[in-house]
Structure 1
């Protein structure tokens, strides 16, 4: 007679093997919750990079991973924006300098491969965290707990499930949370470059008629590039020979870093957006790209996800201290309330900036140019924008 199937019970089950899932699991385990992470054995190779702002770095430091990745990250001391649209209304160049906020840097840029490797290693060693390799095949959400079944027929029960399983989330679909999706007539071409001249820890973003062309420092004389193009333009870049592509990218960068040499293979990603209509359901909370997706503009993606994780951790810690049911609707309502305005404001800001580059409508160009002009000339406004770019609400500390 076969033995009885074993079911493991945890405070929290986190589903998803990307940075959001692994950072969530580490954060909640550090807060004293028994956690299980259900994720593929290893994230697939990812040649992209991620710019992390100070609040994100604080969370990574809290969970004990920042020191392991610091030496492979490049400081971001200045952000330079240049109008390269060639349109009638030409916005002035704007430089945001971290020293103006009495900060050594805004943040750091790191290769996703390096970040993923450290996170996987730390999850395997973290006390109070069990890692279950694989995917979730089905989920059921009851009044007192949720039940997950993995593809290899393992059963897991938890008081709360955190969905970090991406934009096509099985868990989000299971509970019937709707999403709003939209797309842009653009493709991001992403790669890493070596260059002759030092970047001096300055990130440079050219605003072009097809979208941003952004160079972000990496250690040494290297930078990551996000080039937003039309689908046809992206295809032209991807079919160029290595030498042709290097020359074309140097031309678009106006040779500000000298000659270019490819340091990674070019990847392409169609630009699209997504927002979930709700962030919670019975015994379920959404984080990261399960909750929101938008173009790689302004380095907001993972930073927004890490604010999800930080706020969820704070809500659950308070519930735990008060001996509340961490998966209850009353507790999860606090998370929903904390995150809504931040997600909405970031999504709208990125969408508006991106669309402003695509239109030749004169009033829109005038508004964008005026915004950049005042950002460059008016110190309090510039400092507000810098603080708001790193953390919501921080900019208004200037006026308290």
Structure 2
């Protein structure tokens, strides 16, 4: 693995070894920026999955990693939404079909462990990309550059730092960027399942009084499950023996995929949100969960992060062609302006959907039911929702 030199000033230093950090580093390096990635090697134990929409796949194709990722991913051709709240006002079932948009699929679902393994391999051999294995202990920001002090003692200087070090970001704190936190009275139970019946590449989301219960296809007769429950309910599920839990999850899924068998360790995460008050500061730009965190609903998290990366790379590439300072305020404020609406709209949409399931307030039930009815019965509205779900703005520009 190449070592950094104190005398070299990189164009970009990316901090963070998750998918966002590694994809950002590969993207910047592909665009010709001398890039250093400061990240710890992954453990390979992440049993969660990620659904990638078409715009995210386009970015992965551009940096050359998609063919290897696709090998272990499952197509998502249809998305089925079912009101399982049992309340007085119930929304009709809605099926979103990618064929209605002349697409073979909306996207693909993949195990995070497989995704991370491919990204780590590519980072190890990419041109213009230097790896520093470890974490950052301190960051000093100067007028012309930023200096990263790695925990292992190495010093890295760069014209721009891209912070992808997560919700507890040291880089964000060093840049004095404040965040807004909020929480929900819920937890997400996450597990992968083997099932007796084929999923036919259909993702099914049951809307329940405690939150979404979502089954997303994996290769073969497997699916990933995200079950949003009350904190007490999630604790009860976590305490169940495997056979009892399998039967309970099959019951909640109304046996649409037959019998269940656990295919991974069951994990539980409290639901919360985070939003940075700014996306930029002197010599630093935030991407991914360093900038925004919301519940795992609608598969928006990583896809939003990859749009951060694509927009930032585009802004920096144009600035480089104009021989502008890529870490300067004038350049970075363009990135922030480009991202604000997308980040705000996705955060609000996920928050609204989640809270609408928790409330028994009749007008809210009526509004949610009306929206689902229109989605099911009005083709142009349904197609707009499908396009907007995959990429912001496309629903208004690609109408059929």
Q: Same fold (TM over 0.5)?
A: yes
How far has the Cα of 1:8 moved from its partner? Answer: 3.4
Match of 2:25 in 1: 25
Match of 2:307 in 1: 307
Task: Trace 1:169-184 onto structure 2 (pairs within 5 A).
Answer: 169-184=169-184
- State the alpha-carbon separation in 2 of the partners of residues 398 and 25 from structure 1: 31
- State the alpha-carbon separation in 1 of the partners of residues 229 and 131 from structure 2: 39
- State the alpha-carbon separation in 2 of the partners of residues 343 and 44 from structure 1: 29
Match of 2:320 in 1: 320
SS state at 2:71 partner: helix
Q: Does 1:143 align with 2:133?
A: no
How far has the Cα of 1:88 moved from its partner? Answer: 0.4
Q: Does 1:203 align with 2:242?
A: no
SS state at 2:86 partner: coil
String of CA shifts for 1:320-368, please: whole Å, max 9, x gaps.
1111110000000110011000000000000000000000000000000
CA contact (8 A) 2:384 2:399 kept: no
String of CA shifts for 1:239-279, please: whole Å, max 9, x gaps.
11110000000000000000001100100100000000000
SS state at 2:337 partner: helix
Q: Number of matched residues?
A: 396
- State the alpha-carbon separation in 2 of the partners of residues 42 and 380 from structure 1: 44
SS state at 1:24 partner: helix
Q: Does 1:40 align with 2:59?
A: no
CA contact (8 A) 1:7 1:155 kept: no
Match of 2:291 in 1: 291
How far has the Cα of 1:45 moved from its partner? Answer: 1.6
Match of 2:280 in 1: 280
Q: Does 1:84 align with 2:84?
A: yes
Match of 1:365 in 2: 365
- State the alpha-carbon separation in 2 of the partners of residues 39 and 260 from structure 1: 37
How far has the Cα of 1:398 moved from its partner? Answer: 4.2
- State the alpha-carbon separation in 2 of the partners of residues 6 and 200 from structure 1: 54
Where do 5+ consecutive residues of structure 1 fail to align? Answer: none
SS state at 2:207 partner: strand
Question: TM (normalized to structure 2)?
Answer: 0.98
Match of 1:131 in 2: 131
Where do 5+ consecutive residues of structure 2 fail to align? Answer: none
Backbone CA RMSD of aligned residues:
1.0
Match of 1:154 in 2: 154
How far has the Cα of 1:64 moved from its partner? Answer: 1.0
String of CA shifts for 1:46-78, please: whole Å, max 9, x gaps.
100000000000111111111011111000000
Question: TM (normalized to structure 1)?
Answer: 0.98
SS state at 1:176 partner: coil
Task: Trace 1:1-400 onto structure 2 (pairs within 5 A).
Answer: 6-43=6-43, 45-398=45-398
CA contact (8 A) 2:238 2:266 kept: yes
- State the alpha-carbon separation in 2 of the partners of residues 125 and 349 from structure 1: 39
Report the CA distance shift for 1:56/1:399 in structure 2 as closer, same or farther (over 3 A).
Answer: closer
SS state at 2:257 partner: coil
CA contact (8 A) 2:380 2:399 kept: no
SS state at 1:115 partner: helix
